[in-house]
Every structure is written in structure tokens, then in C-alpha cells.
Amino acid sequence: MYYNGLGIKKDKEKGLIWFKRAADLGSLNAKLNLADIYLFEKSYKKAFYWFERATKQNSVYAQENLAKMYLAGLGTSKDKSKAIFWYKQARKQGSKEAKNALRAIRVRIKKSQKP
């Protein structure tokens, strides 16, 4: 509420404090909100941190975003094998985005192996 000013005076700092408190108490939505806020602000290490915490609650959204961050090296070093791992985790939960991403990675690998 504070972060977006819903029914109350907008106060992003106070909003972040409340999101962090809720996240520390286990709120998946708070973790995802923090990750999205930091991703939007291009604070990639912080976004990575919160997506990683959200994956512990089997969030497909967090798994997909962590995979993207590993592929691009945002907030962490590039690591294709970790990206593939997280896409596979999301695919196990029925993510079409992850399935398509894994297919695209396989195609790129095959193309790079051709003489």
C-alpha cells in the first residue's frame, strides 16, 4: 500500500520496509514484489537475491526469472547450466515459457556445434 500509495500517502521507502518484513516472515508475494521492484530499478543483485529466495517456495515465476538472470549475467555471473536447471524446474511445473526457452537453448547449442 505504501509503495504504490493505495489509500495512503505514497512512501516507497516505507513500502520496501513492509515488503521486507513480510518477505522475512515467508510471504512469497512480498519476495516477488521486491524482486520485481529491484529488477525494474536495475538493481540486479537485489532482484536476483529475492528471486532466489522465492524459488525455495517453488515459484515458477521466480524460477523463470532466475534462469533469465543466469543466462544474461544479471546480478550474478553468466551460467548456462544453472539457467537450464531453473528452466527445467519451471518446466516440471508446467511452464510453457520455460519449455520454449529450453528448446531455444538446445537449438542455439546445436547451431554452435555445426562446423
- pLDDT in 10s for each residue of the chain, 115 residues: 444 445 555 567 888 999 999 999 999 999 999 999 999 999 999 999 999 999 999 999 999 999 999 999 999 999 999 999 999 999 999 999 999 999 999 898 888 877 6
Output the pTM of the full model: 0.85
Cβ atoms within 10 Å of 113's Cβ, excluding its own: 7
Burial class (CB in 10 A: 0-12, 13-18, 19+), 38: buried
Chain position carrying cell 548456462: 80
Instruction: Tell me the domains of the chain and their CATH numbers.
Output: 12-113 (1.25.40.10)
Set of cell numbers at residue 23: 518477505
Three-state SS string over 72-97 comes to HCCCCCCCHHHHHHHHHHHHHCCCHH
Set of cell numbers at residue 81: 547450466
Would you state the pLDDT for residue 2? 41
